[in-house]
Amino acid sequence: MPCTGNYFRVFKLITVQWKIFYTANSCKLPCRETSCVLKFESVRHIACVLLILLLPLLSVAAETMEKHLSLRESITVALENASSLKKAENARQLQGSDVLRSYGGFLPKISASAGYIPSSVSRSYGQNSSGVPYETSRLKTERESVDLSIVTSLNLFNGFRDYATLQSALKSERSAELSVARARQSVAFDVIQSYYQVLLNQEVLAIARENLLTAKDQLTLSERQFHIGLKALPDLYQQQAETARSELSANQAEAQLERSRLELLRRLRLDPRTRLALAPLSPSTLAAEPVKPDIDSLISLGLQNRSDIESRKLDADAAKWQIRQAASARYPKLDLNVNISTGGIESLRQTIDGSEPISLDYPPLSEQLENSVGYTVSLNMSWAIFDGFQTRYNVEQAKIKHLNRRLDYEDLQSDIAIDLQQAALEYRSAAAGIASAKAGLRAAKAAYEAIKRKYDLGASGFVELSTARAALFGAMSTLSQATYNLALQKEVLDYAAGTLKIN
């Protein structure tokens, strides 16, 4: 259990605090030593019970405050939490619904309605059976009825609008899928950059602390030599100033490390209070032999593998189909309509001149609904002869949108070629920097050791020693930066070419 050490530390803290409290209070009273021991043992039992009750809370706190991650685990966490990736997934899901809606354009539209009239009263003049003129005879009719109807409409022709809409939706859906793939690579690349930066800053901090430790050791030696008369007071002051500068450099390196850790937490979308323990990179990753990238092959590979360039091309194709969709309004529209309806009367009563109502007998409602079915089939054609140039505007708008999407596609092609050339140039520079950094470190180490021996013998001054030590630790930092820079530039090449491995 990784958090067991935390449990024991908390338990020790609780027992120590109780022991202090007991020693400061209880043992002031006259008591035997055995009684004090028994009381302390009781306190320990109580602390154990409290610790057991607090174990779940301690586990949650320990899990929240410290997290061990490798590079691949960090990428997995970022892919699960990245908002940009979730937005791309949402856009893809919406495009899928749009495709389904486009398919629905080829299907008939069906609607059903049902009406129930509990009471309908109408009054009119009429002639009754006794021959009274209709002007003086008033007729009142009350009825309760049910009406059912189903209406369906199928578009037979609309200038290929439905077909163009479907093709545009299919290409937009595929474009959204490719956008998700590129978004995953972008999230992974951001995490890789931040992860490498944290590891580099850790090494820089270790070098700065080693420099500080060396400066402190040198300060201790200078103080002893000053007391026995081997060093002058100015040399001691200079060494104290050098130690202070080394301490400042270590503090700055520590602050830089914390900033890079926070930036990595931002990429991972984790609690800012989380303490990250990152696994080091494999030696094969850091010590990989530099390759010689071929620009033409890289550009061809990038244009073939980059999902975002294919996404831009599909967006341009979708916009082209939208031109056809807008132009469909110039053609007539032909619809087939079918209307099926039925109805029945539950009860009907008539009253003439205020006499007793007369109830008319009807067959059962179910029989009426079955025998009263009627239908209507119609073909409707509509054609907008003139719509105030609205169709012309819509077509021009779709054409401009297609041209803009095409320009975006061509610009991205050019950008990919330039990005790959820059990445290849930076990679070559990083590869050359490795050899220079290694040679510089060897020379700086040899120079420092020689000047250090001369300084200990009194044959060299403090300025020479300080310069040699600064050159040595600067060379160490330069080699670390060059090593991580080469590894990172390899990832930049893969990302620019669209071949970055996520898992």
What residue ranges do the domains of the chain occupy? 4-66, 80-102+162-320+393-497, 108-157+333-382
The β-bridge relationship of strands 275-278 and 358-360 is: unpaired
Give me the percent of the chain exceeding a pLDDT of 70: 82
Structure tokens of 427? 């990679």
Rounded-to-integer distance, Cα 361 and Cα 347, Å:
7
Closest CA to 193 of 485, 417, 428: 485
Q: How confident is the model at residue 144 (pLDDT cuts 50, 70, 90)?
A: confident
Quote the strand ranges of 353-465, DSSP E. Answer: 358-360, 374-382
* 493, 298 contact by CB (below 8 A): yes
Give residue 223's identity as a one-letter amino acid code.
E
Res 48: pLDDT: 54
Give residue 401's identity as a one-letter amino acid code.
K
Q: What is the mean pLDDT of residues 84-98?
A: 95
Closest CA to 373 of 346, 338, 336, 344: 344
Q: What are phi and psi of 104, to 5 degrees?
A: -65, -20
Q: What is the mean pLDDT of residues 436-452?
A: 89
**pLDDT at residue 40 is higher than 60:** no
27/474: higher pLDDT: 474
Quote the pTM value. 0.76
Summarised one tens digit per residue, pLDDT across range 299-314 is: 999 999 999 999 999 9
Please name the helix (run of DSSP H) or strand (run of DSSP E) that holds residue 116, with its range, or none.
strand 109-125
**pLDDT at residue 276 is higher than 70:** yes
Structure tokens of 96? 């899928």
* 115, 79 contact by CB (below 8 A): no
* 150, 140 contact by CB (below 8 A): no
Query: 50-76 as b/e, with b when 16 or more CB fall inside 10 Å?
Result: ebeeeeeebeeebeeeebebebeebbb
Res 120: pLDDT: 77
Structure tokens of 385? 């002869």
Q: With the C-alpha atoms ordered 32, 34, 40, 42, is the resulting torsion angle positive or negative?
A: negative
Q: How confident is the model at residue 14 (pLDDT cuts 50, 70, 90)?
A: very low
Closest CA to 270 of 74, 70, 3: 74
Assign domain 80-102+162-320+393-497 one CATH number from 2.30.300.10, 3.30.70.1350, 2.60.40.10, 1.20.1600.10.
1.20.1600.10
Structure tokens of 279? 């696994």
Rounded-to-integer distance, Cα 63 and Cα 4, Å:
12
C-alpha distances (whole Å) from 290 to each of 281, 293, 418, 430 are 17, 9, 21, 9
Q: How confident is the model at residue 130 (pLDDT cuts 50, 70, 90)?
A: low
